[in-house]
Amino acid sequence: MLNLNGYLGPEINVSKKKIYDHNKALFDLCIEINQFCQIFKYELKVDENDNIGIVATLLFFKLLDTYQSVILLYQYGLDTQARIVNRTILEGLWVLKNLYFAPDKTFKLLIEDEYFKKVNMLHDIKNNHDYFYEYLTKNNIINVEAEMEKLTANMKQFGVEKIRKINVKEMALNSNSELEYFYIYKLLCRDVHVDTGQLTNYFMSGVDGSIEGFDDSPSTINIEEVLITTADLILKAVIFLSKILKIDKNVEISYYINQVHNF
């Protein structure tokens, strides 16, 4: 991997082939599940007045794209990055599950969260005085007071009485996902944030444990655990979207879940 472009150089193609050949059965299973999900996606029909169904479907689209991203990253041997992206699927799945268990409450929370983000951004622009915010205000790129008035009017029009941020832990526990949150999610969070323990993955150690250098070559050390997990999560997303839209995919889903759990 000692070249000018790293993972963007042509040399990576040699590593990609080795990674695929060594993990062919696993990749083929993930790709087969992806094909099932793609067909499922294009078969979806949602009533234009079904707000819950629309949001759930759009969320599934995002989760499927993310699932594909995890597979692509592992084809390149980007182990840590694949784990980071995998966390997004967990968070989205919990929202999807909540849209099934408590649809109205969750839909309301999603709206409140969206307004929370917009209002917070305007407060940041108004109250912070670094160069970026000064540039925005001095050059009249945004009128904070006018934008805040628009948001307030919209909230009143749609009956939004309060704003709040979505709590990931709350989403998990309210959807009976304790195991996923306290085990899988907590582990994946270490990759997202700066964690000195995770940085040791880039060390080249001698027999005695001494540091002999740094290593950023392709790695698939966690490939089976992560790809099996991400395949299981996307199938759960299919399950809950099917429940929300009242689609019967039980036979197909059971088949693929068995394939994953017996891998």
- How many whole angstroms from its chain centre is CA 56? 15
The tens digit of pLDDT for each residue in 24-66 reads: 999 999 999 999 999 999 999 999 999 999 999 999 999 999 9
The mean predicted confidence, pLDDT, of the chain is 87
Q: 244 by DSSP, 3-state: which? A: helix
Give the number of other CB atoms < 10 A from CB of residue 35. 10
The answer to whether the beta carbons of residues 77 and 219 sit under 8 Å apart is yes
Using alpha carbons, select from 189, 35, 180, 192 the residue that is nearest to residue 93. Answer: 180
In percent, how much of the chain has pLDDT > 90?
59
- Kindly tell me if the per-residue pLDDT of 152 is higher than 70: yes
The answer to whether the beta carbons of residues 28 and 51 sit under 8 Å apart is no
Residues in Cβ contact with 76 at an 8 Å cutoff, skipping those fewer than 6 apart: 7, 12, 15, 16, 19, 218
- pLDDT category, 1, cuts 50, 70, 90? very low
The tens digit of pLDDT for each residue in 201-258 reads: 555 566 666 666 666 778 898 999 999 999 999 999 999 999 999 999 999 999 999 9
* Rounded mean pLDDT, 57-85: 95
Amino acid (1-letter code) at residue 223: I
Tell me the torsion sign for CA atoms 208, 194, 110, 171. Answer: positive
**What is the predicted pLDDT for the residue at 211?**
62
Alpha helices in the chain (DSSP H): 12-22, 24-43, 51-75, 79-101, 103-127, 131-138, 144-157, 168-173, 178-179, 186-192, 196-199, 223-245, 250-261
Please state, in angstroms and rounded to a whole number, the distance separating the CA atoms of residues 169 and 7. 35
How much is the pTM? 0.85
Tell me the torsion sign for CA atoms 259, 235, 32, 87. Answer: negative
- Kindly tell me if the per-residue pLDDT of 198 is higher than 60: no
The answer to whether the beta carbons of residues 137 and 125 sit under 8 Å apart is yes
Separation in Å, CA 211 to CA 157, 198, 220 = 62, 15, 21
